[in-house]
Amino acid sequence: MQTQKRLLVTGAGGFIGHHLVRRLKADGHWVRGVDLKYPEYEASSADEFEILDLRKAEDCLLATRGGMDEVYNLAADMGGIGYITAFHASISRNNILINAHMLEAARQNGVKRFLFSSSACVYNQSKQKDPEVKPLREEDAYPADPEPGYGWEKLFAEELCRYYYKDYGFETRIVRFHNVYGPLGTYEGGKEKAPAAISRKVAAAPVGGEIEIWGDGEQTRSFMLVDDCVEGLIRIMASDYRDALNLGTDELVTINELVDIVCNIAGKRLTKRHDLTGPQGVRGRNSDNTLLRKVLGWEPSIHLAQGLAVTYKWIALERKKKEAAQSELVSAR
């Protein structure tokens, strides 16, 4: 077994944070989870779980107290494309506060290493206008023209990490996630991402029914199963690479193809109805993993169809459980 470390995961009540805590515990570490809320679908396996608001400097000092070796800073106000295009001011303000206060608190409390979860939304939008997009290399974030709000705020927090290393020698790692999906992730309510939203819609549709898709469905993306994401996070934290690194797959699909894969898994034939007024984000986005392979000698490798099969199964089951609970409630009245 590796040496036990004291680790902090912020955003531990959220999707990636929850999976990460489970994996770090399985690896034998002592883990504190922090969030505004507890995980929604399963209890956390953290040794300590604290409800704190990391927009406040004093809460960040509490979160990072007690001799933490490493901090995985995953807390953020975020959601799918509908959410991040609707709320520029509140998302930017909340995340700027979280990241600035978390970096400073971690430094003051003598944390040895700090990982910041950035996003593919930092990439220059003019390099993502074609569905046949050239995979994005880390340097394609500049000259800066990121996604309004969420992308700008992530790009600046990346810079802040660099300044903390330059001015204080504070060890930071920067990870640019490309669309993470998997079981135990939000699948309804407006914050869900495309794989979860599509799985939910397919599960809800009657055989031979319709499915609504935002845009013409020819926009392209790559998607990474959360298991690959967690593996990558741990490897990047352990590496000696301080600049930004992509963490995603380079298996590019259109949203229409994504729908076909999920329909196949569900064994349903559905007619696609395209809502051309719906938000769709950039036209094409893919991850270039050349640098990731060079730094880690590893890259995410779980195929989309394989990951979607487990994700769809989980969402379909959750929906059934919810429906059963609701009908029990109605019959009890």
Structure tokens of 125?
Answer: 């939008």
251 binds ligand NAD (CB under 6 A): no
Residue 55 makes contact with ligand NAD by CB under 6 A? yes
Rule CB under 6 A: is residue 98 a binding residue for ligand NAD?
A: yes
Residue 276 Cβ vs ligand NAD, minimum distance, rounded to whole Å:
24
Could you give phi then psi for residue 38, rounded to 5 degrees?
-80, 160
Q: How far apart are CA 213 and CA 281, in angstroms?
A: 13
Measure the CA–CA gap between 56 and 58, rounded to whole angstroms.
Answer: 6
Show Cβ contacts of residue 285 under 8 Å, excluding neighbours closer than 6 positions: 120, 123, 128, 133, 136, 178, 220, 221, 222
Question: For residues 107 and 186, which CB has a smaller minimum distance to ligand NAD in the complex?
Answer: 186
Residue 265 as a binder of ligand NAD (CB under 6 A): the answer is no
- Nearer Cβ to ligand NAD (205/236): 236
Question: Catalytic one among 72, 83, 150, 187?
Answer: 150
**In the complex, least distance from residue 265 CB atom to ligand NAD, rounded to whole angstroms:** 20
Distance CA 279, CA 179 (A): 16
C-alpha distances (whole Å) from 328 to each of 8, 312, 318, 319 are: 40, 24, 15, 14
Per the listing, tokens 């002592």 go with: 30
Residues ≥6 apart with Cβ < 8 Å to 71 = 7, 8, 9, 10, 64, 102, 106, 111, 113, 114, 115
Stretch that binds ligand NAD, among 23-31, 48-56, 64-72, 163-171 (CB under 6 A): 48-56
| Interface with ligand NAD (CB under 6 A), residue from 2, 37, 43, 331 | 37
Backbone angles phi, psi at 10, to 5 degrees: -95, 155
Give me the least distance between CB of 231 and ligand NAD, in Å please. 15
Only one of the segments 177-185, 256-264, 273-281, 315-323 lies at the binding site for ligand NAD (rule: CB under 6 A); that segment is: 177-185
Chosen residue from 71, 141, 180, 194 binding ligand NAD by CB under 6 A: 180
Residue with the CB atom nearest ligand NAD in the bound state: 14
150 is catalytic: yes
Q: Active-site positions?
A: 150
Interaction site with ligand NAD (CB under 6 A): 11, 13-17, 35-37, 53-55, 74-78, 94, 98, 117, 119, 177, 179-180, 193
